[in-house]
Amino acid sequence: MVTYNTYLHCAFKCNNYPLAKKIFKNMKEKDIFTYSINNLFLLKKGMIKETMESYEEMKTRQIYIDQVFYNILINGIMKQKNYKLAFKVWQEMNERGFKYNDFTISVTIQLFSHLNKLKDALEFYNSCKYESIYVNSCLVKMYV
């Protein structure tokens, strides 16, 4: 599988989506790394529909989705300005009960800010009781 993941990564790095799509489709085994490579490229290209299809395939195949994957997925969807979809994915992540780290907290605050849920962002921040310069800068940006 490592070899196929490397091929997939190289195809994406060469911006050869048709080849990457073929490699991904024909892979018999896929893991979190395979989907991460695939979804990162799709998100960078603004291919939200394909990204979400890949995400749904992961859930169907019962591949463990970790917090890092969720953070990348949510952040990538937000970069495409699809905040409602990002919030839906955030809710799914939140239901999994992950312990928040500074990146997850900052992504959440940014998401709430884009959705004009400033009160929710502050309540979320206060509930986490987690301080870092990165997280605090996200709070400041909400009001700028």
CB-CB contact of 121 with 139 (8 Å): yes
Judgement on whether residues 90 and 101 belong to the same structural domain of the protein: yes
Give the model confidence (pLDDT) of 117-141 as tens digits: 989 988 988 888 777 776 777 777 7
Judgement on whether residues 74 and 54 belong to the same structural domain of the protein: no
Judgement on whether residues 75 and 104 belong to the same structural domain of the protein: yes
Rounded to two decimals, the pTM is 0.84
CB-CB contact of 51 with 43 (8 Å): yes
Give the model confidence (pLDDT) of 51-76 as tens digits: 999 999 999 999 999 999 999 999 99
Three-state SS at 1: coil
Q: Which of 45, 46, 54, 41 is nearest to 13 (CA)?
A: 41
Judgement on whether residues 135 and 75 belong to the same structural domain of the protein: yes
Mean pLDDT, residues 95-123? 89
Judgement on whether residues 58 and 8 belong to the same structural domain of the protein: yes
Mean pLDDT, residues 9-28? 91
Half-sphere exposure of 121 toward its Cβ, with a 13 Å CA cutoff?
Answer: 22
Q: Which residues contact 129 (CB under 8 A, 6 or more apart)?
A: none
Judgement on whether residues 100 and 53 belong to the same structural domain of the protein: no
- Domain span including residue 120: 67-144
Judgement on whether residues 1 and 23 belong to the same structural domain of the protein: yes
Judgement on whether residues 72 and 55 belong to the same structural domain of the protein: no
Judgement on whether residues 80 and 58 belong to the same structural domain of the protein: no
User: Whole-angstrom Cα distance, residue 84 to residue 30?
Assistant: 28
